[in-house]
Amino acid sequence: MEKEKVISIFFQVAVIAFSLIVAFVTAIVYMRFKRNQDIRQKHSMEKEFAEQLKQSRIEVQEQTFGQIGKELHDNVGQLLSTSRMLLGLTERSLLNPPDTLITANTTLGEAINELRSLSRSMDKDWLEQFNFSENLHTEILRINAGNKVQASCHLQGMPGLASGEQIILFRIVQEAIQNALRHGNPTNISIKVQEEENGCCIIVEDNGSGFVMPHHAEGMGMNNMKQRTAILGGHITWRAAPDAGVSVFIHLPIKNAVT
Amino acid sequence: MFSLYSIAEWIAFLCSILLFAKGVEKGYRVFFFYTLAVILTEFAGRWLMETTQHNHRLFTFACFAFTCFYFLTLRSFLKDARRRKLVIILLGLFITIYTINLFFIQQLKEFNSYSFIAGYTLLSIAATIYYMEFIQQETITPIREEPNFFIVTGYFIYGTLTAILYTLHRYFAYMKIPNANYRNLFTTTSDITNVSLYLLLAVAFVIIWKRRKS
């Protein structure tokens, strides 16, 4: 009888042990599940923080652009206008004004126009009044006015973007054009839109001196363009070779490419 | 007749064939040979029993080999060098206990249950070490995609319950309770431990096969 009782007690012990093992394993599974949730939350917070950081960087840049634009218009522009007025007065006061004076007056007039359109292209408030295509056309006109570079754009199939997104895209294209003008010494710059399977691609091409693609080190400008494109949910790539010009491909996903 | 755990063994063996599919991590293929060895040992044990020969020597050696295999595979799942070293120390301890028991205590007169009570307890400790690392991992690890977790859980359930079972067995022998009185308890618990181990291994093999690189 006593032996049967011992067996019964140990049977209970075995059942309890099994239950405890199952409970222990369940607790491990639960702890892992909670840990996964924490890691996911941490990742999403980090991503959100990085997005905010990028956004605020862009905003600071926009403010700086705006300030430079205003300074150019209100300060340098005024000085140049006054100088032109004085030149005009001098020109009129002379019976036979020298050609150099007339040329200087005309050149100064061109410089004032150039400065005005440059300061307007930096002003965010001005940009918001127009869409991307109009802004780009103005930029093209400004470049062509210099008679050194022939710029053109074909924007059929251009994505419909929100105002803020249009500014970001405009800044990317503007940076690509400025890079070409500054470093490539091109005679032609073309901007076109190509439809893709999941969105569209805006291509900025030039026939300048090009460059050897850097593998690791990238300039501030390239990083800025990458960050801005990432904000639009897209990605940017470069194709360049010495003496073969540069092509910049701005790929935008379908959510930003609603025509 | 096939017992419940024999069916589970066969399921694990058949699933282990999946480990030879293209793109499966090669290291896992060792489990095919393990499940094959388990089935062969089972057949040999039954054959010895049917021919009225003792099979405790076979199981004393087979269980030793399998336990070492459990320790070594569990060690390979760990990433932290200190924890891996700890598992090797536990394995060393088990081998020492096994050797002492084989030569001086139970010898080859009976199944070396003392060695395996210690061995399976140490295996449970090793499994707990794995669980600690598993919980602390800084990467998102969905459990249904983690075959190592299923394998170690199989070892843990098998090791812990078998250690308790062998302890009871030794205690009943000490109390001089006849085998017939607790045979049902022994068979049922043994079935649960074996079925748990082999089914969890089978699940792990399917997960490994599903996440193979195409």
The mean per-residue pLDDT over the stretch A173-196 comes to: 87
Instruction: Tell me the C-alpha to C-alpha distance, in Å, between residue B46 and each of B1, B5, B8, B198.
Output: 11, 14, 17, 19
Contact of A145 with chain B, judged by CB distance below 8 Å, is answered with no
| pLDDT tens-digit map of B110-143 | 777 788 899 999 999 999 999 999 988 888 878 8
Distance from CA of B27 to the nearest CA of A (A): 25
What are the tokens at B54? 């003792």
Would the pLDDT of B91 be above 90? Answer: yes
| pLDDT tens-digit map of A2-20 | 667 777 777 788 888 888 9
Position A26 scores a pLDDT of 93
What single letter denotes the amino acid at residue B60? Answer: T
Altogether, the residues listed in chain B come to a count of: 214
**Which of B117, B131, B158 to probe by mutation at the A interface, max A CB count within 10 Å?**
B131
Distance from CA of A49 to the nearest CA of B (A): 20
User: What's the pLDDT band for A214 if we cut at 50, 70, 90?
Assistant: low
Rounded to 5 degrees, what are φ and ψ at A95?
A: -70, -50
Cβ-proximal residues to A115 (8 Å cutoff; 6+ apart), any chain: A72, A73, A76, A77, A80
Nearest to A36 among B141, B156, B168 (CB): B141
Position B33 scores a pLDDT of 93
Under an 8 A CB cutoff, do A40 and B140 touch? Answer: yes
The mean per-residue pLDDT over the stretch A48-76 comes to: 83
User: What's the pLDDT band for A259 if we cut at 50, 70, 90?
Assistant: very low
> DSSP code of B143?
G
Within 13 Å, how many C-alpha atoms sit on residue B123's CB side? Answer: 32
Position B156 scores a pLDDT of 93
Position B88 scores a pLDDT of 93
Under an 8 A CB cutoff, do B171 and A10 touch? Answer: yes
Contact of A28 with chain B, judged by CB distance below 8 Å, is answered with yes
Position B1 scores a pLDDT of 53
Position A194 scores a pLDDT of 84
Would the pLDDT of A126 be above 70? Answer: no
What are the tokens at B212? 């193979």
Under an 8 A CB cutoff, do A14 and B168 touch? Answer: yes
Rounded to 5 degrees, what are φ and ψ at A247?
A: -120, 130
The mean per-residue pLDDT over the stretch A137-148 comes to: 82
Calpha distance A21→A14 (Å, rounded): 10
* Residue A29: exposure state from Cβ atoms within 10 A (0-12, 13-18, ≥19): middle
Contact of B151 with chain A, judged by CB distance below 8 Å, is answered with no
Position B90 scores a pLDDT of 93
Q: Maximum Cα–Cα distance for chain A, whole Å?
A: 139
Q: Quick one: residue A214, left, alpha or beta (phi over 0 = left, psi -120 to 50 = alpha)? A: beta
User: What's the pLDDT band for A129 if we cut at 50, 70, 90?
Assistant: low
Position A161 scores a pLDDT of 75
Average pLDDT along chain A: 83
Cβ-proximal residues to B40 (8 Å cutoff; 6+ apart), any chain: none
Distance from CA of A1 to the nearest CA of B (A): 11
Residue appearing with tokens 């053109």: A152
* Bridge partners, A247 (sequence order): A205, A239
Position A258 scores a pLDDT of 39
Position B93 scores a pLDDT of 93
Calpha distance B190→B103 (Å, rounded): 27
Calpha distance B47→A216 (Å, rounded): 68
Nearest to A17 among B134, B164, B171 (CB): B164
Cβ-proximal residues to A230 (8 Å cutoff; 6+ apart), any chain: A54
Among candidates B201, B194, B184, B163, which has minimal Cα distance to B16? B201
Would the pLDDT of B54 be above 80? Answer: no
Cβ-proximal residues to A24 (8 Å cutoff; 6+ apart), any chain: none
User: What's the pLDDT band for B207 if we cut at 50, 70, 90?
Assistant: very high
Calpha distance B74→B78 (Å, rounded): 7
Position A257 scores a pLDDT of 46
Based on C-alpha coordinates, what's the Rg of chain B? 18
What ipTM was predicted for this assembly?
A: 0.84
Nearest to A18 among B138, B172, B192 (CB): B192
Position A146 scores a pLDDT of 75
What are the tokens at A138? 């103005």
Would the pLDDT of A136 be above 60? Answer: yes
Contact of A141 with chain B, judged by CB distance below 8 Å, is answered with no
Greater pLDDT, B171 or B121: B121
Among candidates A48, A115, A49, which has minimal Cα distance to A84? A115
| pLDDT tens-digit map of B23-50 | 888 888 999 999 999 999 888 888 887 8
Calpha distance A180→A221 (Å, rounded): 12
The mean per-residue pLDDT over the stretch A114-127 comes to: 74
Distance from CA of A226 to the nearest CA of B (A): 27
Helix (H, G, I), strand (E, B) or coil at B199: helix
Q: Judging by DSSP bridges, how do beta strands A235-240 and A246-253 pair with one another?
A: antiparallel
Alpha helices, H only, A94-213: 99-122, 124-129, 132-145, 163-179
pLDDT more than 70, % of chain A: 90
